Structure 1
Amino acid sequence: MIASTPLEAFYYWEKNSPDQPFLRQPLPGQWKIYTYKQAGIEIRKVANALKALHLAPQSKIAILSKNCAHWIMADLAIWMAGYISVPIYPTLSATGIQYIVEHSEAKAIFIGKLDDFGKQRAAIASSVHKISFPFYGPNEGSLWDDLLNTSPLAESPLPAAIDIASIMYSSGTTGTPKGVVLTFGAFDFVAKSLAKNLYIHKPEQFFSYLPLSHIAERSYIEMLVFYSGSTISFTESLDKFGDNLREVQPTLFGGVPRIFAKIQEGVLLKMPQQKLDRLLSIPIVSWIVKKTIRKKLGFSKTHLIVGGAAPIPVPLLTWFAKLGIEIREVYGMTENGGYSHGNHGTTVKIGTVGKPWPDIETKFTAEGEILTKHAGLMLGYYKDEESTRQSFTSDGFLKTGDKGIVDADGYLTITGRVKDQFKTDKAKFIAPAPIEMKFTSNKDIDSICVVGMGIPQPIALVVLSGLATGKSKAEIVEGLQATLDAVNATLEHYERIEKVVVLSESWTIENGFITPSLKVKRHEIEKVHAASYIDWYKQKDKILWS
């Protein structure tokens, strides 16, 4: 296939594999399947309807929806019409949505599969043209199905590689989201490089459930599908996730640490660890158990499982490996198209994010910050020249904001964020990420945030997992104390955790403590709990409940 942009790649499959399934959308009791030809007809009709709005070339059009077939079709229609797509996380509050719509100067917005659009509706000004997807609920403005009464766009427009394809707003663990400007050429470079280095040269079965407004899903799912003529299946709902995954049995799968932890939790709720260990110790039985678990999880045909967004705890990676499920960690960020390092090739080193991909340059600052450079980097931040300037070195390397170390074999381990360090009142700097990773060996812990501003020693704030539900308070305390002792034995004195505080409120996207990409928002947790640090620190017990 010869293509220089994702849009041209789609045209290739539309012409040469028209009957190949492209998008599979689960609806109650059935799968709605769109072939490349069928999707192409709808996309071209919607593109023509967008052109009829007579917007200025390169106008911005937003997409506010969970992952679904129409999300992908809307993205392609926006490009065919000569506009720029602006994905918005479907779980954002009205305030967050309003900021992105206004900051990006979006002239229109696609509205689709959402949990509570009633709370988000006010974020979209009446001047912004609304188009609603079918199947999912909101019927705002123009309806997608009504647009299908138009004639399909006859031509196949080809944007230049330097043209802007999308402005992707970061999910924001700190501060206001920034609009990352990515070109068609950047997406082209990342997609072709991933396909080459992950050996994706034929149609595959993808399963899409992480937000398409996140760079990982955009690059590793959407773009890879365009460049391989593959099929994307979506999930109907959170409740149906497991059922849909089992039905699809994808050949490729991607997840974040929280997803893999939830999958593990589900297995252990049905088969306690002691029983699983016993069965895995019996040769023939072990093979049967592994095969059965992989099939029930949906991984019976999966030949590539990728993990990213944040480091996955080594015990969790090892646990999956014992089941014959190899998770290859990769590393990247929106600003470099999600493309930097990966456990590619034949060797996977657990606990690292792998080596640099073959076609990029990397180096480190004196402080250990990772710098990357390749043809898929962002142009900059939309309407923010100062932040753009600060994000690049004088020789064109992107400052990732992440710190890392490289071992003797060239494998990178992420050690934290440059700005995540905090200082205790002993004037000691603490890097929380490595300490937090050590605590994840305790399966009763769902989420953790190590903090310590204004107190002599750091403390750990934790939220319990579902596996702790069936345990007594005494059992949980005993387990947390054992983990605390084991972790502190590996730390320098000034790093040792003084208290573990079990919080009663879960950290979720909805309450603002977790980003849409499932990372903990440290600054939000600090805002709520910082006033209690001194009181917690003074208490006698090591394990506290709040």
Structure 2
Amino acid sequence: MSKIFEFAEPLEYVLRWEKEKPNEVYLTQPLAGGEVETYTWGQVTEQARRGAAYLKSLDLPAGSNIALVGKNSAHWIIADLAIWMAGHVPVPLYPTLGADACTYILEHSEAKLLFVGRLDGVSDSWNELAQVLPETLPLVCLPMSPVVRAENSVLWDQLMRDFEPLQEVILRGREALATIIYTSGTTGRPKGVMHNFRSLTAPAGCSVNLWLPDASDRMLSYLPLAHVAERVAVEIPSLLFGFQLFFNDSLETFPADLKRARPTRFFSVPRLWTKFYQAVNARIPPAKQRILFSIPFLSSKVKKKILQELGLDSVKVGLTGAAPLSAEIISWYRKLGLDLLEVFGMTENCAASHAARMGEVRPGYVGTPLDGVECRIDDTGEVLVKSPGQMMGYYKMPEETKACMTDDGFLRTGDRGELDEMGRLRITGRTKDLFKTSKGKYVAPVPIENMLGAHPGIEVICATGPGQPQPFALAVLSPGALNPSSEEDKNRFAQEFSTHLDEINQQLEDHERLNYVVIVKEPWTIESGLLTPTMKLKRNEIEERYMKFADHWRAQNQKIIWEG
């Protein structure tokens, strides 16, 4: 176990960049119509200081919790810095948060104020949230925020005019509470995970010798900053190392935003890596790729062109996490020349846990412990981790905090796993995801989903079947996988996917083999409540919606079933 590099709290580095490179661009924000707005380190810190001066003027108790809701934007980062500069604690909320969860978090965290950021009420839940915000809760409306109630609210631009920059920035030290990150709530109520500045910077300290970041790096921020992964993989490293961040405007502009950023470090989730893979396969079929890749004078040009079209040609480090990614897709990226490395972590250990290392990649494994991290598997198969990123605990939940820790300080991850001879970890599923068939056999759905989901026509898939004789799967098709009104297209896909299912079933134990796959009608989205804000399956909700049809589907005695 190697010693990690210990960073000071992020504000110390921000103040350094303010002095050393005030005129260098830090944040690039896309606007409507293809325009962009840039903010230098000097501009970012000046605005943050003015925002902090406003917060100080409110005479809130030291270390008050300040909520922040909005999609990723330059001013999300600036507001985060302003809260820290004033000596308070940011509590980020997902922009797709439901009204009940929003009300709960605001009350549970005892938030004294809410920053409202970039929201549109269409691709987020603002219209729902606006109805439940307490009238007594002060609001600060950041640029690109929606129209909010006039009472008890103030515009950011007004603060910039009315307040001089705060001169004495408050530095509270590495052990001070830095943020409360509420879990995305795959099961039950969200829990407020408390991190101090020591644990918040630990992922960078654990991996600095692995990724070798520096001030010349560029990253695109588009996964929710309210989630721990984007916070510690993108925002915090940019503050510590002083590199440039770009933002994404919308799903439609994502390709252009990615090409503008030409990131040198790119962190994403399996769903997006899979979409890239499927998009390339749609334009250049795999059979044609194999031919092109085999021709010496063409191979490198074609591979480089593919990465350029994706906006990934400058990527030195590609990271994937939050869920498993199929070995086939990882291998495809490696053939293109992009070393795609899996990472594993949790909100509770600030994502400072495991990562694959170049030259030691084993498909299906999330790598070895990062520097300073210990890992073991207990008698039940659960992965236990002790990390420098370990949380301070759950906010106002001492019993829950105690329950998730062992007596010797290891975090109970809730994941099942196994280690190979090199100490590389393979996640075999969640302990709570296991389900029992009517034959009394337990099934771990994640490995099955991982294999089935490698098919280019599948957007997302859920293996399930508690109480059924055999498991089955529910699948959402990728956009454009077929013409839903064409029976010929549907028959072709059903035949093709049936073959894929047979191949997968041959690799499974008898009790794991899928009886059938249902192609569902409606897409699963964050807004529909079937995916978390980080696009993980909400199994309880999915099963509640679909399990009542299982007996009917099984009686049809077909491999591929189209939801009526």
**TM-score over 0.5 (shorter chain):** yes
Q: Which residue does the alignment assign to 2:158?
A: 146
Q: Which residue does the alignment assign to 1:132?
A: 141
**Structure 1, residues 163-217: CA drift from partner, whole Å, max 9, x if none?**
1111101112221111101111111322222333311133311111000111110
CA–CA separation in structure 2 for the residues paired with 1:505 and 1:498: 22
Please report how far the alpha carbon of residue 139 of structure 1 lies from its aligned counterpart in structure 2 after TM superposition: 4.5
Q: Which residue does the alignment assign to 1:4?
A: 8
**Structure 1, residues 393-419: CA drift from partner, whole Å, max 9, x if none?**
011111111111111222111111011
CA–CA separation in structure 2 for the residues paired with 1:326 and 1:453: 38
**Structure 1, residues 518-545: CA drift from partner, whole Å, max 9, x if none?**
1111111011111111221222212111
Q: Which residue does the alignment assign to 2:80?
A: 75
Match among 17, 22, 27 for residue 18 of structure 1: 22
CA–CA separation in structure 1 for the residues paired with 2:216 and 2:11: 17
Contact 2:68 2:92 in 1 (8 A): yes
Contact 2:114 2:139 in 1 (8 A): yes
**Structure 1, residues 433-474: CA drift from partner, whole Å, max 9, x if none?**
111111123211111111111211111111111252257111
Please report how far the alpha carbon of residue 504 of structure 1 lies from its aligned counterpart in structure 2 after TM superposition: 0.6
Identity among equivalent positions (%) equals 41
CA–CA separation in structure 2 for the residues paired with 1:138 and 1:151: 26
Which amino acid in the other structure matches residue 232 of structure 2?
S
Contact 1:112 1:138 in 2 (8 A): no
Contact 1:369 1:402 in 2 (8 A): yes
Which amino acid in the other structure matches residue 531 of structure 2?
I
After superposition, residues 334-413 of structure 1 pair within 5 angstroms as 334-413=347-426
Contact 1:329 1:352 in 2 (8 A): yes
CA–CA separation in structure 2 for the residues paired with 1:247 and 1:375: 35
**Structure 1, residues 53-109: CA drift from partner, whole Å, max 9, x if none?**
111111111110000000111111101111110011111122221121111111111
Contact 1:314 1:351 in 2 (8 A): yes
Gaps of 5+ in 2: none
After superposition, residues 10-409 of structure 1 pair within 5 angstroms as 10-28=14-32, 29-116=34-121, 117-140=126-149, 141-149=153-161, 150-409=163-422
CA–CA separation in structure 2 for the residues paired with 1:432 and 1:514: 16
- How has the CA–CA distance of structure 1 residues 276 and 115 changed in structure 2, closer, same or farther, with 3 Å as cutoff? farther
Paired residue secondary structure (1:153): coil
Please report how far the alpha carbon of residue 2 of structure 1 lies from its aligned counterpart in structure 2 after TM superposition: 9.1
Match among 501, 505, 525 for residue 488 of structure 1: 505
Paired residue secondary structure (1:161): coil
CA–CA separation in structure 2 for the residues paired with 1:155 and 1:3: 21
| Higher mean C-alpha deviation, range 153-162 or range 306-315 | 153-162
| Higher mean C-alpha deviation, range 249-258 or range 351-360 | 351-360
Gaps of 5+ in 1: none
Which amino acid in the other structure matches residue 20 of structure 2?
N
| Higher mean C-alpha deviation, range 6-15 or range 228-237 | 6-15
Contact 1:2 1:9 in 2 (8 A): no
Contact 2:86 2:169 in 1 (8 A): no
Match among 538, 546, 549 for residue 532 of structure 1: 549
Contact 2:482 2:493 in 1 (8 A): no
Contact 1:6 1:187 in 2 (8 A): no
Contact 2:120 2:146 in 1 (8 A): no
Which amino acid in the other structure matches residue 514 of structure 1?
L
**Structure 1, residues 469-525: CA drift from partner, whole Å, max 9, x if none?**
257111111112111111111111111111111111111111011111011111110
Tell me whether 1:458 sits opposite 2:462 in the alignment.
no
Runs of 4+ aligned residues of structure 1 deviating over 4 Å after TM superposition are none
CA–CA separation in structure 1 for the residues paired with 2:295 and 2:201: 48
Please report how far the alpha carbon of residue 3 of structure 1 lies from its aligned counterpart in structure 2 after TM superposition: 5.1
**Structure 1, residues 114-173: CA drift from partner, whole Å, max 9, x if none?**
231222201211111101111343355211111112010001221122211111011122
Paired residue secondary structure (2:549): helix
Tell me whether 1:425 sits opposite 2:438 in the alignment.
yes
Please report how far the alpha carbon of residue 366 of structure 1 lies from its aligned counterpart in structure 2 after TM superposition: 0.7
Q: CA RMSD in A?
A: 1.6
| Higher mean C-alpha deviation, range 467-476 or range 483-492 | 467-476
TM-score (norm. length: structure 2): 0.94
CA–CA separation in structure 1 for the residues paired with 2:243 and 2:497: 45
Paired residue secondary structure (1:109): strand
CA–CA separation in structure 1 for the residues paired with 2:132 and 2:101: 8
